Structure 1
Amino acid sequence: MIKVLFVCTGNICRSPTADGVFRKMVRDAGLDNHISVDSCGLSAYHVGELPDPRSREMAQSRGIDLSDIRSRKIKPTDYHEFDYVLAMDDGHLRDMRRQAPNTHQHRIELFLDYHPLMAGQSVPDPYYGGANGFVDVFDMIEEASSNLLSHIREKHGIQGP
């Protein structure tokens, strides 16, 4: 089982959106038995809360339900348990690299490195922006998620159900 973890600040906008988008892609590809998906935040500000209503609304408009996701804070064991620990922005990447043991540094990556046109860039935080921010973030996440799934299938030799 390949385990993927998406990480942002509070686990209410970017990382739960990526969680929901990627989980649906995995399910639609019939790969639930091969790939598991989760998300968390670096802070405990929103532990136990649903994703931001704007994130849920945006996802719902694209056929993705985020209502089963609850915010949680990253745990030290996550760096060991997950094969891919994907930071939504470069600040998260730096913080996680400081926290993680040296033996697990290779698991930590910038999520948009899987986007064909945005490698090295951060997913902007739509929390304080308008509705368009959520649309733009969703589009970025969808594109990067598609490429991430292709990468995982190829790297780990996962053909299908």
Structure 2
Amino acid sequence: MISVLFVCLGNICRSPMAEAVLRHQLREEGLDDRVRVDSAGTGGWHAGEPPHHGTRSLLAERGISDKGIRARQIEKKDLSEFDYIIVMDESNYRDVNRLAEETGARVHRLVDFIPESRYKEVPDPYYTGDFEETYSLVESGCRGIIRMLREREDL
């Protein structure tokens, strides 16, 4: 089974949104039994909490379940347990790469899976308040991840 871990700062807005969206897209494509998806934050301030109400509301409007998603902090073991570690911004990229130095894990940016994106990172709606913008990038990035998995992993 292929495994994907999304990482953002607090694991209550962007990465749980990406976790829910990718799970939903995989289910629509009949691939949900072939890919494990999770999310984590570089910080542990919100550990155990459900996604931010803005994320939950936006997902509910689109019929996407966030059931069972709870914030947690990334752990060193995640770097060897997940095939793809996908971060939301440059700060997460630096933090996770520092953690990954010993494991050799490869860290990717979500925006790298969005063809011709003008964005260099996924803005944090916890600060911007713009959950729609974040969702648009997450949705496109998750579609790109599925395309990549089909090519690389022969799904």
TM-score after normalising by structure 2? 0.95
* Residue 103 of structure 1: how far off its partner (Å): 4.1
Deviations 1:31-56 (A, max 9, x none): 12211100000101000000000100
Q: Partner amino acid for 1:21?
A: V
* Residue 118 of structure 1: how far off its partner (Å): 2.2
Q: How large is the RMSD of aligned CA atoms in angstroms?
A: 1.3
* Residue 116 of structure 1: how far off its partner (Å): 1.1
Distance change >3 Å, CA 75–CA 119, structure 1 → 2: farther
Could you tell me whether the CA contact under 8 Å between 2:6 and 2:86 is conserved in 1? yes
Partner of 1:63: 63
Distance change >3 Å, CA 119–CA 34, structure 1 → 2: farther
Partner of 1:9: 9
Q: Distance in 1 between matches of 2:101 and 2:127?
A: 33
Percent of pairs identical after alignment? 41
Distance change >3 Å, CA 119–CA 22, structure 1 → 2: farther
Say yes or no: does 1:73 pair with 2:77.
no
TM-score after normalising by structure 1? 0.92
Could you tell me whether the CA contact under 8 Å between 2:11 and 2:72 is conserved in 1? yes
Q: Distance in 1 between matches of 2:56 and 2:24?
A: 14
Deviations 1:123-153 (A, max 9, x none): 00011223xx100100110011001101101
Would you identify which runs of 4 or more consecutive aligned residues in structure 1 move more than 2 Å? 101-105, 117-120
Partner of 1:151: 148
Partner of 2:117: 118
Distance change >3 Å, CA 119–CA 95, structure 1 → 2: farther
Q: Distance in 2 between matches of 1:88 and 1:116?
A: 16
Partner of 1:48: 48
The unaligned stretches of length 5 or more in structure 1 are none
Partner of 1:36: 36
Q: Distance in 1 between matches of 2:111 and 2:40?
A: 17
* Residue 27 of structure 1: how far off its partner (Å): 1.1
* Residue 102 of structure 1: how far off its partner (Å): 4.3
Distance change >3 Å, CA 120–CA 79, structure 1 → 2: farther
